[in-house]
Chains A and B, each alone.
Chain A
Amino acid sequence: MMPIHGHGGAAPRPPEPQAETDQAAAFEKIKAQLARDKVVVYMKGTKDLPRCGFSRQAVEVLKLHGRPFAAYDVLSDPELWNHLDELSGWPTFPQVFVDGQLVGGCDIVTEMHETGELGPLLAKAFGEKT
């Protein structure tokens, strides 16, 4: 599934109240987050309490692979909500990154799990031979 940004709303706008955020500062923060962990998920809600079925599914798929991953809640961070799509060029959440590269959203991660591509991609990120 490809959840649209403002799930429940029409246009892809942040929820009210909108906080003003600085794009350059947000980009710096996101890049630091991507450098810190091999696998990073930007999602609605948290790993333990996803607030969107698509985010939940992406997390469940990643959990199946048993690799550590960082998850950031875009709903509670206006910088991420406002600027992640500008950096990634991906319009929706969740967004899954491996080794700093965007892999895709829920549909892609699920499909790569089903086709057996996800395991080797993660193994490679963690420096294992496949």
Chain B
Amino acid sequence: MMAPDEIRSTLEQALPGSQVEVTDLTGGLDHFQVVVVSPLFEGKALIERHRMVQSKLRAEVEDGRIHALSLRTYTPEQWRKLLR
């Protein structure tokens, strides 16, 4: 189990300049939805973006603190368009 804030700070530190939103999907603190908005995603395919995020949470996934992640990745520009 992990607090959503812990995941958020882990990712924000590992991916500088990113904004991260973490939602506990089940109330069980192990199924999360994670949205990452980062300039680091510019020019990168979805699979590369997901690999970037996954690699920062590998330990938490391997030891079972995180059971499932739903991941969405956006560049700041994509995010602005989405909100419009």
Residues of chain B contacted by A10 (CB below 8 angstroms): 63-64, 67
- B42 CB to closest chain A CB (Å) equals 17
Chain B positions 4-44 with a Cβ under 8 Å from a chain A Cβ: none
The interface bits of chain A over 1-19 (1 if a CB of B lies within 8 angstroms of the residue's CB, else 0) are 1111001011110000000
Q: Are A11 and B46 in contact (CB under 8 A)?
A: no
Q: Nearest A residue to B64 by beta-carbon distance?
A: A10
Question: Given that A2-B70, A4-B67 are known contacts, is A104 also in contact with B46, CB under 8 Å in the complex?
Answer: yes
Check if B63 sits within 8 Å of A108, measured CB to CB: no
- A119 interface residue per 8 A CB criterion: no
Question: How many residues of chain B have a CB within 8 Å of chain A?
Answer: 17
Residues 38-55 of B at the A interface (beta carbon under 8 Å):
46-47, 50-51, 54
Q: What's the Cα separation between A18 and B58 when bound, in Å? A: 23
A26 within 8 A of B: no
The reply on A50 being an interface residue by CB < 8 A is no
Is there a chain B Cβ closer than 8 Å to A30's Cβ?
Answer: no
A53 to chain B: closest residue by CB: B68
B47-A107 in contact (CB<8A): no
Chain B residues near A111 (CB, 8 Å)?
46, 72
User: Is A89 interfacial (CB 8 A cutoff)?
Assistant: yes
Encode A86-130 as 1/0 by CB contact (under 8 A) with B.
000111000000000011110110011000000000000000000
Q: What are 27 A-B pairs with beta-carbon distances under 8 A? A: A1-B68, A2-B50, A2-B69, A2-B70, A4-B61, A4-B64, A4-B66, A4-B67, A4-B69, A7-B67, A7-B68, A10-B63, A10-B64, A11-B64, A12-B61, A54-B68, A102-B47, A103-B47, A104-B46, A104-B47, A105-B50, A107-B70, A107-B72, A108-B47, A111-B46, A111-B72, A112-B46
- Chain A residues in the interface with B (C-beta under 8 A): 1-4, 7, 9-12, 54, 89-91, 102-105, 107-108, 111-112
